[in-house]
Structure 1
Amino acid sequence: MPRSPNLTRADRIGYVVGGIALIVWALRRPSWSRALAASVGSWFLYQAYTGSNPMLKPLGIRVNREPAQPQLAETIVVEEAITISRPRAEVYAYFARPEHLPALADAEVDIARNVADQELAWRGLRGEKLAHFGSLSFRDAPGGRGTIVAAHLEYAPSGGSLGAALARVMGRSPQRLVADALRHARAILETGEAPSTSGQPSGLR
């Protein structure tokens, strides 16, 4: 089993159903074309067994089957980091405002942990349902170059791993949104001006 699976349980079930269907169809009336279909079906079954699709790896899709929040059965993991040329206390103070956290849209932010100048953690709620959870850690950059902000976000994808991959390709994935939020914060803190967002997708709080 690979260390970094990138298929959700729903994906794997779909791969099993699709793989078996292709193999059964191929065996009913053998031919070269159906032999190819059987090979594809076998490949689907292998991916379902390993829990990993190699075509998704370049997109950085990673599944956590045992998330820290038990309300979510499994999650897609997003990790981004950035260096901001400002003191750690100032960077922390900026993100301590809930509207500045890289939380996904349409979710109410509930601060779960707050360690001054070190860590912020939150949960994104839609009503009483947990939609995602995340954290930011802050540490001094080497050589007095400012502050390293590391973001960790986990969410339950509505379309499974394939839906997450499609969103990534279209530039509307949570990973893109988290990265944009960090770049926005760096621009504000370093220059006092927000970067242009014309033509870019929205979705962050």
Structure 2
Amino acid sequence: MTSTSLTTASDNTLTLRRWITVGLPATELFNLWLEPDTLPRIMSHFASVTPVNKSDAHWQIEGPLGKHYRWDTRIVEAQPGEVIAWRSLEDADIPNEGELRLRPAPGEWGTELALTLQFTPPGGALGKKVTTLFDLLPKEVASKALHRFKSLAETGEIPTLHGQPAGRHGGRQDKEK
């Protein structure tokens, strides 16, 4: 079962939620999420993530008109096989927090992962409108991150089309005239 939702709190915080089932035990997924190269790989569609140490990471995204937004996060809770939670540190361009909850899937089908991301766009209500207008924090960020994590966990790699020619053109030229 998969599901996505986007809600907005009265304080202009955007909340993204996504659920997915991965065919591996929770402890294995917990450990994989915390490996230093995992977040940079699964979040590369959205942000540049640089691990600083075991609990901290530096994030950067590109916004409209070439503006860069940066923040640092710290893991504030880690219960093996159950939950990983993090928050942005002071002076974040986009204050945020997130949580990954893990629980056994029904019928011994692996582990259900629930990812929740909360962002507070800069500039209050106007900032929220600009963020939504420019899709600065796309609704799909949580969904794509979990699908990329699932692929990494189950196959050891994240599928990509990067560097591959488009199938429509196939690199040939039409010589008919």
Separation in 2, partners of 1:132, 1:116? 23
Answer yes or no: is 1:135 the counterpart of 2:105: no
TM-score with structure 1 setting the length: 0.54
| Contact 2:5/2:18 (8 A) holds in 1 | no
1:162 pairs with 99, 104, 129, which one?
A: 129
Shift of 1:130: 6.7
Higher relative contact order (CA 8 A, sep 6+): 2
| SS at 1:162 equivalent | helix
Separation in 2, partners of 1:193, 1:142? 26
- Shift in alpha-carbon separation, 1:185–1:176, aligned structure 2, 3 A: same
Deviations 1:166-191 (A, max 9, x none): 344xxx53432222111111111111
Question: Which residue identity lines up with residue 150 of structure 2 in the other structure?
Answer: R
| Contact 1:131/1:155 (8 A) holds in 2 | yes
Shift of 1:96: 2.2
1:64 match: 9
| SS at 2:24 equivalent | coil
| Contact 2:94/2:121 (8 A) holds in 1 | no
The correspondence of residues 1-205 of structure 1 with structure 2, limited to 5 A, is 61-65=6-10, 73-97=11-35, 100-101=38-39, 105=60, 106-125=70-89, 127=91, 131-158=95-122, 159-168=126-135, 173-196=137-160, 198=162
Q: How many residues align?
A: 131
Percent identity of paired positions between Structure 1 and Structure 2: 26
CA RMSD across the alignment: 2.9
Greater shift in the superposed pair: 156-165 or 188-197? 156-165
- Shift in alpha-carbon separation, 1:147–1:167, aligned structure 2, 3 A: farther
Shift of 1:99: 5.1
Question: Which residue identity lines up with residue 186 of structure 1 in the other structure?
Answer: K
Identify unmatched segments of 5+ residues in structure 2.
44-48, 50-58, 61-69, 164-177
Shift of 1:194: 1.2
Separation in 2, partners of 1:187, 1:109? 24
| SS at 1:94 equivalent | helix
- Shift in alpha-carbon separation, 1:94–1:174, aligned structure 2, 3 A: farther
CA radius of gyration, larger in: 1
Separation in 2, partners of 1:147, 1:131? 29
Whose strand fraction is larger, Structure 1's or Structure 2's? 2
Identify unmatched segments of 5+ residues in structure 1.
1-58, 66-72, 200-205
TM-score with structure 2 setting the length: 0.62
Whose helix fraction is larger, Structure 1's or Structure 2's? 1
- Shift in alpha-carbon separation, 1:92–1:174, aligned structure 2, 3 A: farther
